[in-house]
Amino acid sequence: MTVQRNLFADVAVVALLASGALPAHAADRDANSSKAADGVANAQTQTPQDQTITPAQADAASDIVVTGIRASLQSAQARKRNADAIVDSIVADDIGKLPDNNTTEALQRISGIQVSRDRGEGGSVAIRGLSQVLTTLDGREIFTAGGGRGYNLQDFPAEQLAGVDVYKTPTADLIEGGIGGVIDLRTRRPLDMDGFVVSGSLRGRYQDLVDKVSPLGSLLISDKWNTGAGEMGLLVSGSYQERAFRSDIEAVGAPSERNDLITGRTIVTPNGDYEPLIDGKRRRIGLGATFQWKPTPELEFYAQAGYQEFRSIQQQRGLNNPSNGLSVVPGSVETFDGTDDFMRGTFQNLSASTFGVTRDTYDKNQQYSAGFDWDRGAARLTGDFTYQHSTNDLYYTEQDLKVTIPLATLDLSGKTPTMSFDGIDLTDINNYTLGYTVRSENHYTGNSYAGRLDGEFEIDSPFLSGFKTGARIQKMDTAFTPIRFFYQPSTTTSAAGYSSLFETMPFDDFFQSNPAFPQGYFTAITSSLRNDFDGVRNALGVSAAPAVDPASVYDMSETTVAGYAEMLFKVDSGLRFDSNVGVRFIKTSLNIDGNQRSTVGGVTTITPQTYNNDYVSVLPSANVRFHLTDELQLRLAASQTLTRPNFSQLSPAFTLVPAQGQGSGGNPNLEPLRADQLDASLEYYFSPTGSLYLAGFYRKVKGFIFTSSNRQVINGIDYVISQPTNGDDGKIKGVEVGGQTFFDFLPAPFDGFGVQANYTYIDSSTPSAIANYTTPLPNLSKSSFNISGLYEKYGLSIRVAYNYRSKYLSGLYGLPLAAGGSQNIPIYRKGYGWLDASINYDVTPNVTLTLEGSNLLRTREFTYFDQTTRPNNISIDDRQVMAGVRFTF
């Protein structure tokens, strides 16, 4: 079965990689058929109502049928062109035709956005270098409990989206909170659909490293009716995704200088290595329902409900082999040519440990909304109320074994560093002793109540075109309850008497069966750690149970009251332009209840702490668009924005991890981050699906939050405690350039080819934890680009998308010097590319077969300490291939 699956995967990958170069020769079909892709109404095949198209463009497009990818590009381009700020958009068909199963992966296609990877799929998002991003759902702020303020975009299945708008400049009516920008997730509404619609998808996903197939499915049902009480519509949708995953990681320990390895030389030497193999399964569920009622053409009432659940069940097994201070076999140490950087050497009597870990995360998010929209044309009034509830639970359990290795050879010379052992039989349980046993649980809850009222009024004037005003009030509360357990045997205890807790490492193909890595060693049975931790404690003879850490508990509430006023201007003669100029006022009231641990004379006490903080913010904004010609427009924008500190950063509590000697604490005196922003964008629209743009931006961020560290002894354990603090100003500046088009001027069948491409350059400088020292923004690449090759004709749709980002700063490390003291050096992530592809074929106007692939190049992560001859982390993730069917009726 495994051979068959691998053969299928190899054939599929070859097909996907080849697809970008093959012309389409498929049976022709009715080009005017309705696709309603991913549940989008047939209106997608028509020109968007809000797009201005010149007569020349209309003539050029008159013989082009707008469906599929063309429709998605046209709709997204129209939203960007007609927005009242600098906005980029993607729509449902665009998302549905790439293997983008969560929102983050869809967003990586937009210029200026860089995403991180989490076990081979999209994780966090930064807009123009800033990770402080506000997420809204149909214009309403949403969040995921977990100590932060943002929404975990991994939680939202892409199939449930009608589109995503990324606001890179604010307007006064946008909710404050994101100095990076605002990401608005747009869902479908029944009255926008063409009557009764049923659409969905069924797919299977094969992950090659873990060698498993996982199911994915989605379904949307929508209908609307004309009744005696007006028009009504109801839409329900659901999505279910599973993904098995595996990551192989070889992490080389942090370096230090040693002068005892090679006579007369100081060698930069790593602290052994760390070899986790991580496997698990993720499940993502999305449910949604929307009801609309229009008793008259001018008045609409609506109610919406949404639910997202994300579960990640993960096991981690491997070896930890620290080598600091160990002697080496004389003459065994070699260095990289022309450097004093350690390349290869053999250490003696290394004290290693094996580990078995479970790390399970559960996110659950609920949103309930109701409101109205009263539109008289010259005047519009809208109101909305939203309640949200979110929980986040993390369960981490680890059990270690210790073993002494007579000879351990660390070799950094190959593509993958390795640590090999000699003089020990790792398959004999008698050679092991018990190590740490740790359990940590983090439980977060969050609630939000928000109401808003907005009005918009047209003004009949040759200059002033309208006025907007509104108010919003929101109350958020969040609570954190940590549970901790730590056990360390008081004496050296043989593991032989506890063999029921351990098993032979179940994988024997680490880094694709690299023979240099140790095999057959014992690790903790992860299923016991997860499902029967009390049984593990009893087997160890430990009566103490996991308990709440009272010093780390906190409960916070925050009330914001906001109002705004915005003037709209429009001039249609001479130099034509339109603009909005406004200001947003916000009062923030924060209450923090927590605890603080202190140790005096060896006695530890926990003291309740209460903090209150009120402040007022005034955020002006201005956006102007000059219509230089019918096709060419120039946008200029200036604004001020803010992002409030995360709740976990504001906590007065400490969270301690005894096994690692690490602790983290908050700072209730943190101030919000504030940014001054300048933006410009020159945009040329030469066809309904063709455009070019050049944008520049500048951000000055005040009060960047960074982490400082200090040492404390708590309950006899030496901890390094990290706490956030506001720093000096930081600056970000950059440019974006991009465009898209179909090559309609080519003869058939080549007129079905198209391309999308964009490039972003960002330069930044921010304060760090080192006095008078600045660095680039962490996790920010200076250069990134996307390029997608497109083909759509004869019912065949092909897309090959490549995303690249250059190296970036991961963090700073204090390199211990042989002469004493330390030198701070950067840790970099080497630049990398990510290749996805998809092939779709319309069997009928309503049924499409799909083949999709992700991580087709099997990208390797590589991080290093300052120089590539000082490796830090190397990892590989699954290549994924999906096949299935989409349908719409």
Mean pLDDT, residues 494-504: 95
Per-residue pLDDT of 561-612, as tens digits, reads 999 999 999 999 889 999 999 999 999 999 999 987 766 566 777 889 899 9
- pLDDT at residue 309, rounded to an integer: 96
State yes or no: pLDDT of 1 exceeds 60. no
Residue pair 495/433 in contact by the 8 Å Cβ criterion: yes
* Residue 604: per-residue pLDDT: 73
User: Strand, coil or helix: what is 674?
Assistant: strand
Give the separation between CA 570 and CA 625, rounded to whole angstroms: 9
Spatial contact of 654 and 676, defined as CB atoms under 8 Å apart: no
User: What is the rounded distance in angstroms from the CA atom of residue 334 to the CA atom of residue 329?
Assistant: 12
Domain boundaries, the chain: 2-888
β-sheet bridge partners, residue 612? 591
How many CB atoms sit inside 10 A of residue 338's CB? Answer: 7
CA pair distance 345, 262, nearest whole angstrom = 11
DSSP 8-state code for residue 69: H
Highest mean pLDDT, choosing among 149-158, 526-535, 655-664? 526-535
Pairing between β-strand 181-186 and β-strand 163-167 as defined by DSSP bridges: antiparallel
Q: With a cut of 90, say whether residue 542 has pLDDT above it.
A: yes
Alpha helix ranges (H) inside 413-532 = 510-513, 526-531
Confidence (pLDDT) at 101:
63
Percent of the chain with pLDDT over 70: 89
422-431 mean pLDDT: 96
By C-alpha distance, which of 133, 131, 121, 126 is closest to 157? 121
Query: Residue 349: pLDDT above 60?
Result: yes
Residues near 819 by beta carbon (within 8 Å), at least 6 away in sequence: 257
pLDDT for res 817: 87
Task: Return the H-helix or E-strand segment holding 848.
Answer: strand 847-854
Query: CA-CA-CA-CA torsion for 103, 104, 109, 115, nearest 10 degrees?
Result: 180
Task: Name the DSSP class of 793.
Answer: E
Asked whether 83 and 637 are in contact (CB, 8 A), the reply is no
The model's pLDDT over 457-488, given as tens digits with 9 standing for 90+, comes to: 999 998 999 999 999 999 999 999 999 999 99
Strand, helix or coil for residue 377: coil
Only one residue has tokens 């400082």, namely: 708
Look at the block and give the residue holding tokens 């080009």.
31
Amino acid at 777: L
Please give the Cα distance from 808 to 810 (Å, whole number): 6
Reduced 3-state DSSP string for 416-428: CCEEEEECCCCCC
CA distance 278 to 246: 5
Distance CA 723, CA 663 (A): 9
**Are 347 and 272 in contact, with CB atoms under 8 Å apart?**
yes
Lookup: tokens for 30 = 């009715």
Look at 17-26, 820-829, 865-874 and tell me which has the smallest mean pLDDT: 17-26
Note the helical H segments in 550-638. Answer: none
One DSSP character per residue, 712-762 reads EEETTEEEEEEEEEE---EEEEEEEEEEEEE-TTSPTTGGGEEEEEEEEEE
Distance CA 118, CA 247 (A): 10
The per-residue pLDDT for range 800-811, each reduced to its tens digit, is 999 999 999 988
Q: What is the pLDDT of residue 33?
A: 32
- Judging by beta carbons within 10 Å of its beta carbon (0-12, 13-18, 19+), is residue 44 exposed, middle or buried? buried
Instruction: With a cut of 70, say whether residue 213 has pLDDT above it.
Output: yes
Nearby residues of 638 by Cβ (< 8 Å), 6 or more positions away: 621, 622, 677, 678, 679
Q: Inform me whether the pLDDT recorded for 232 exceeds 70.
A: yes
pLDDT of residue 822: 77
Better-predicted residue by pLDDT, 635 or 19: 635
Whether the per-residue pLDDT at 18 is higher than 50: the answer is no
pLDDT-based confidence at residue 707 (cuts at 50, 70, 90): confident
40-44, 379-383, 779-783: which has the highest mean pLDDT? 379-383
For residue 192, CA distances in Å to 35, 173, 368 come to: 15, 24, 20
Q: What is the mean pLDDT of residues 511-527?
A: 92
The Cα–Cα gap between 636 and 625 comes to 7
| Matching residue, tokens 């720093």 | 727
Other Cβ atoms less than 10 A from the Cβ of 492: the count is: 8
Lowest mean pLDDT among 89-98, 512-521, 528-537: 89-98
For tokens 């519009």, the residue is 380
Q: pLDDT digit string (tens) for 654-674?
A: 766 666 677 777 889 899 999
Q: Using one digit for the tens of pLDDT, what is the confidence trace for 725-775?
A: 887 788 999 999 999 999 999 999 999 999 999 999 999 887 665 555 677
Q: What is the pLDDT of residue 16?
A: 52
pLDDT of residue 332: 96
Gyration radius from the chain CA atoms: 29
Mark 461-483 as b/e (b = at least 16 C-beta within 10 Å). eeeebbebbbebebebbbbbbbb
**CATH classification of 2-888 is 2.40.170.20, yes or no?**
yes
CA distance 649 to 370: 33
Cα distance between residue 22 and residue 310, in whole Å: 38
Q: What is the pLDDT of residue 490?
A: 78
Identify any residues that bridge with 277 across adjacent strands, giving them in sequence order.
248, 317
Q: How far apart are CA 23 and CA 658, in angstroms?
A: 61
Highest mean pLDDT among 355-359, 569-573, 876-880: 355-359
State the average pLDDT over residues 177-184: 94
- In what helix (H) or strand (E) does residue 511 lie, and over which residues does it extend? helix 510-513
Degrees to nearest 5, angle at CA 71 with 70 and 76: 100
pLDDT beyond 60 at 57: no
| Other CB atoms within 10 A of residue 60 CB | 17
CB atoms within 10 A of CB 85: 22
- The pTM assigned to this predicted structure is 0.88
